[in-house]
Amino acid sequence: MKWGKFFAHTLDLAGLVIKHVVRTRLVYLVFAFSVLSQIGGLKLTHEGLSASAGLLPTLKSQQSVFIALFLELFGGVMLCVVYGVWVVPYLHSGSRAQLTLVLPVRRAAFACSGAIGLLALLLVQFATMIVVYGYVLGFGGLAPAVFPWQYFFIGAALESLCFLSLTFLFSALSVSTGPITAFFLGVTVLSGLQFGGVLKAVGKFLASKGMQTGSFLDWVKIYDLLLPVGELVFQLKVIGTSEINLGVALAKWVVWIVVLAVTYVVTISRIRRFKASV
């Protein structure tokens, strides 16, 4: 019975979140940017490879889907920022802040409703990506014999887990510090993690060539304990190869989702009023 109430409350809250999404103009701008970047990026890649004989078949295989998923990262991260900073905290802003504390609703229901709303948006975004892919490269390329659906679903799962992690990160920052501070602080953390992932990849490459990396491997050990945002592109690149342990990669993202979701729940339990900016 308790679980039934929990699920009912979660769905009710998810409905409120989705209603606010519909009213948030920034979300529409993010979707427009995502579609335009997909069309532009795929067309440029298609035209570039078409100019080189023998390379075009590669575009209609796993590499082309990697390019599409890579382009999707930009729209997805922007969606996380907008959704995490302005949409999820909507239920805790202004006059609604005190309701978070007095309503007979488990705090975890707020986190679950936010996750449901984001997954619904991602479903639309990935579906749009497939449509754009077919529009640019031909819908015949979506046939099971041609399109690497397994690779796509694994890549989409990794990206979705990453986006969920970032959403809870930005949401916790927004509730505790306010939307503007959360935006700049979150983007700074995200940029640092991305740069750290690049450094890790460079260090591994130099080590594979037998070059001395000094104490750089110590940094790699530290980075492996952090949110693996900077590794996502490399994970997408090596899906299906021996270079990635898919189970470990997925488990690491799930652990971080739980950690950041708990952080968000703790944050709204000690809520602070702030005015929504949208």
pLDDT in tens, 46-60: 776 655 545 444 455
Paired tokens of 29? 């701008």
- pLDDT given at position 212: 63
At 44, list the tokens.
Answer: 């440029």
The pLDDT of residue 96 is above 80: no
Instruction: Give 146's pLDDT tier (boundaries 50, 70, 90).
Output: confident
Indicate the angle between helix axes 62-82 and 107-137, nearest 10 degrees: 140
Provide the residue type at 83 as one letter.
Y
Domain boundaries, the chain: 2-269
Residue 52: the pLDDT is 54
Do 56 and 49 contact (CB within 8 A), yes or no? Answer: yes
Q: What is the rounded average pLDDT of the residues 3-10? A: 86
Q: What percent of the chain has pLDDT over 90?
A: 52
| Average pLDDT of the chain to the nearest whole number | 85
Long-range CB contacts (within 8 A, 24+) of 254-262: 254/161, 256/165, 256/227, 256/228, 257/161, 257/164, 257/165, 257/168, 260/165, 260/168, 260/169, 260/172, 260/227, 261/108, 261/111, 261/115, 261/168
pTM summary value: 0.88
What is the rounded CA–CA span in Å between residue 108 and residue 6? Answer: 9
Cα distance between residue 266 and residue 171, in whole Å: 12
* 272 has pLDDT over 60: no
DSSP letter string, 81-128: HHIIIIIGGGGGSGGGHHHHHHSS--HHHHHHHHHHHHHHHHHHHHHH
Beta strands in the chain (DSSP E): none
Tell me what pLDDT residue 215 has: 62
Among all chains, which residue has been given the structure tokens 């700074």?
A: 188
- CA dist., res. 60 & res. 18, Å (int): 36
What number of residues does the chain have?
278
Q: Render pLDDT for 215-270 as a digit per residue (tens, 0 to 9).
A: 666 667 778 888 999 889 989 988 988 888 999 999 999 999 999 999 999 998 87
Compute the half-sphere exposure of residue 142: CA atoms within 13 Å on the CB side of its CA: 12
Per-residue confidence band for 197, with pLDDT thresholds at 50, 70 and 90: confident
User: Average pLDDT, stretch 33-43?
Assistant: 92
Integer Cα distance of 134 and 151 in angstroms: 16
- In contact, 35 and 128? CB cutoff 8 Å: yes
pLDDT at 38: 92
Which residue would you say has higher pLDDT here, 48 or 25? 25
